[in-house]
């Protein structure tokens, strides 16, 4: 008989999140702890604490490239401690599913969030880097979807991944902070100097957004410029995947009225008209929970 | 009872092709004529000539953006005469399927060609422009797959599609001819002057490839440079779609040992290592027949 619950894991951010989730995608119990120390042991313990005969399986979303068949992490640039981690060694007897975390988050939005009624969408997670997930006919496509590592500047700057000119170098939180810091270093006038009390290297995307809203030109330009490149990426996504929606997630969507609005303007100029007309560009709705909900949904999707 | 044949149409190149195709993908009869005059009438007549009670349906591949549900051409940049063409008006009583031509060609390779044993691949058709088609778990994804109109130079030159820096501006036959012509106009030394008998505007990709093979530096550089950008596009495809293979089709694959080899070299440097390791980059095998075979296969896929 099909069981009513599954366990979803979101692994790879600053926190390890594990949740007991219903078939519908409701989070019933959750555990959140810093992903430090012995991650494998923390993960094992957290899952053990939620396991019961009512649990159909465990789904794990990992920041990085995964081996879905082998149930392993191939490489996690942001959390190198888990490179090569083999989840089969957790030793649980229930079925196990492993996905990239941005893919899992997209599935989460499809299950319970902004994508619930949308058959075909691409989700972009805009944080320190830029992640992606592709939902086609209601199902998560088992693709890398590393949209943040699509080159939009063939001769652009070097990315840590080895490529040149990757999308995330121009529109991620890291990119926004970098652009603001470089301008401040070069002596540009900006209220960010006061906000950061003289230590410009402490500037956050929130500081930049708040300053922009209070009329700081530098901050506004930095956000608009990043938004423009996000728009280049969104136009590429539209021309390739022709989705019904592009769902945007991650901390940066807090800057919607400057950063995302600029992205939408740029994408509208660049994408095929006939494809742009049918696409909605909308915010995700689950926030930090998308990852665990989507990871748990992997169990019921297959 | 399922019927043994379907009819495939390839519409949008210089020729209209219509074929009677078996379930396995064998071409039993074919009609080929220039796509001039009253295309709608020619198409109707050609299909009529092949229809029989043994035919399950008709699949049509069109160069351009199509409305799959509405069974219409939305826009065909290369064959504007068919913009808006409504295939329902053909009036046949068998089921009708409409797809982009590069998508159909990818499905053709999946059915009978180089992709027959490959579950997940992306096909790039390298001709005057660059088309794409995505096969996932053996099925054609109903996406635009306009990979030639992915910007790889956010601030690059304007494309006729409205975007800037589209992949095909740097690696298509049109791009190769343009680059050679511009160098010749600027006075560069090259055996292409003799080959074209002084009229440099007559130069073809074959001329350029042959000259390169005979040691012409300009021709070699032009092909290698185009190959490099093709490699940027292939790396993006690998990072986004993580396919088992990238299948290359179209006239330009005749220049494999210069142009494609350079693309492979560039892609190997740029794509995620773990994804690049599992991908094969191989030539298509059906040539001009991929389009009709794939269009016919649409009928049996659904």
Secondary structure (3-state) at A19: strand
Confidence of residue A301 (pLDDT cuts 50, 70, 90): confident
Helix (H) or strand (E) run with residue A282 in it: strand A280-283
Q: Give A67-71's long-range contacts (Cβ < 8 A, gap of 24+).
A: A67/A98, A68/A97, A68/A98, A68/A99, A68/A142, A71/A96, A71/A97, A71/A98
Residues in chain A closer than 8 A to B236 (CB atoms) = 150-151
Smallest CA–CA distance, residue B142 to chain A, in Å, is 9
Mutate to test the interface with A, among B236, B243, B277, B278 (most CBs of A within 10 A): B236
Q: What is the pLDDT of residue B35?
A: 81
Confidence of residue B301 (pLDDT cuts 50, 70, 90): confident
Summarize pLDDT for A37-54 with one digit per residue, the tens.
899 999 999 999 999 999
Q: How many Å apart are CA A39 and CA A273, to the nearest integer?
A: 47
Q: What is the pLDDT of residue B78?
A: 77
Task: Say if residues A150 and B236 touch (Cβ distance below 8 Å).
Answer: yes
Question: Read out DSSP for B236-280?
Answer: HHHHHH--SEEEEESGGGGGIIIIIHHHHHHHHHHS-HHHHTT-E
Secondary structure (3-state) at A184: helix
Q: On the CB side of B207, how many CA atoms lie within 13 Å of its CA?
A: 19
Question: CB-based contact (8 Å) between A61 and chain B?
Answer: no
What CATH number was assigned to the domain covering residues A121-284?
Answer: 3.30.420.40
Q: Which residue of B has its CA nearest to A232?
A: B154
Question: CB-based contact (8 Å) between B90 and chain A?
Answer: no
Residues in chain A closer than 8 A to B119 (CB atoms) = none
Q: How many Å apart are CA B219 and CA A75, to the nearest integer?
A: 41
A240, pLDDT greater than 90 = yes
Q: How many Å apart are CA B98 and CA A243, to the nearest integer?
A: 18
Summarize pLDDT for A181-229 with one digit per residue, the tens.
999 999 999 999 999 998 999 999 999 999 999 999 999 999 999 999 9
Interface contact B144-A65, CB threshold 8 A = no
Question: CB-based contact (8 Å) between A1 and chain B?
Answer: no
Q: How many Å apart are CA A139 and CA A135, to the nearest integer?
A: 5
- Check if CATH label 3.30.420.40 holds for domain A5-113+288-301: yes
Q: What is the pLDDT of residue B195?
A: 93
Q: What is the pLDDT of residue A13?
A: 77
Smallest CA–CA distance, residue A51 to chain B, in Å, is 32
Q: Are strands B15-22 and B55-62 parallel, antiparallel or unpaired?
A: unpaired
Q: Give A28-32's long-range contacts (Cβ < 8 A, gap of 24+).
A: A30/A289, A30/A292
| Partner residues linked to A133 by β-bridges | A123
Tokens matching residue B278: 């599992």
Question: CATH 3.30.420.40 residue ranges in chain A?
Answer: 5-113+288-301, 121-284
Q: How many Å apart are CA A112 and CA B206, to the nearest integer?
A: 55
Smallest CA–CA distance, residue A31 to chain B, in Å, is 31
Q: pTM of the predicted model, to two decimals?
A: 0.96
B1, pLDDT greater than 90 = no
Tokens matching residue A260: 């995302």
Percent over 70 (pLDDT), chain B: 100
B117, pLDDT greater than 80 = yes
How many angstroms separate the Cα of B301 from the Cα of each of A60, A96, A156, A259, B7? 33, 31, 41, 42, 13
Q: Which of B75, B150, B275 sits opposite A274 (nearest CB)?
A: B75
Confidence of residue A2 (pLDDT cuts 50, 70, 90): confident
- ipTM metric: 0.95
Interface contact B242-A147, CB threshold 8 A = no
Question: CB-based contact (8 Å) between B235 and chain A?
Answer: yes
Interface contact B144-A229, CB threshold 8 A = no
Question: CB-based contact (8 Å) between A94 and chain B?
Answer: no
Measured on CA atoms in the order A294, A298, A302, B2, is the torsion positive or negative? Answer: positive
CA-closest candidate to residue B143, choices B170, B95, B107:
B107
């Amino acid at each position: 008989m099909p069981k009513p619950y599954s366990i979803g894991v979101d692994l790879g951010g600053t926190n390890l999140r594990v949740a007991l989730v219903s078939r519908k995608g409701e989070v019933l119990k959750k555990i959140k702890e810093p992903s430090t120390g012995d991650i494998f042991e923390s993960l094992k313990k957290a899952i053990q604490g939620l396991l019961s005969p009512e649990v159909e399986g465990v789904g794990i979303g990992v920041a990085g490239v995964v081996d879905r068949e082998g149930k392993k992490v191939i490489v996690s640039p942001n959390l190198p401690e888990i490179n090569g981690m083999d989840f089969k060694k957790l030793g649980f007897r229930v079925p196990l599913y492993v996905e990239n975390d941005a893919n899992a988050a997209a599935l989460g939005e499809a299950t319970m969030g902004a994508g619930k009624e949308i058959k075909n969408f691409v989700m972009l997670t805009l944080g320190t880097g830029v992640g992606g997930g592709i939902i086609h006919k209601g199902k998560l496509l088992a693709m890398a979807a590393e949209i943040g590592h699509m080159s939009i500047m063939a001769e652009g700057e070097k990315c840590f991944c080895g490529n040149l000119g990757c999308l995330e170098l121009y529109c991620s939180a890291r990119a926004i902070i970098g652009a603001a810091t470089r301008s401040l270093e070069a002596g540009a006038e900006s209220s960010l100097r006061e906000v950061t009390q003289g230590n410009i290297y402490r500037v956050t995307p929130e500081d930049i957004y708040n300053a922009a809203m209070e009329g700081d030109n530098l901050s506004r330009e930095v956000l608009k410029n990043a938004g423009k490149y996000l728009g280049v990426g969104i136009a590429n996504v539209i021309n390739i995947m022709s989705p019904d929606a592009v769902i945007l997630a991650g901390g940066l969507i807090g800057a919607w009225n400057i950063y995302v609005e600029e992205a939408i303007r740029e994408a509208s100029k660049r994408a095929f008209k006939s494809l742009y007309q049918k696409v909605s560009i909308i915010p995700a709705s689950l926030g930090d929970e998308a990852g665990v909900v989507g990871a748990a949904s992997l169990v019921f999707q297959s």
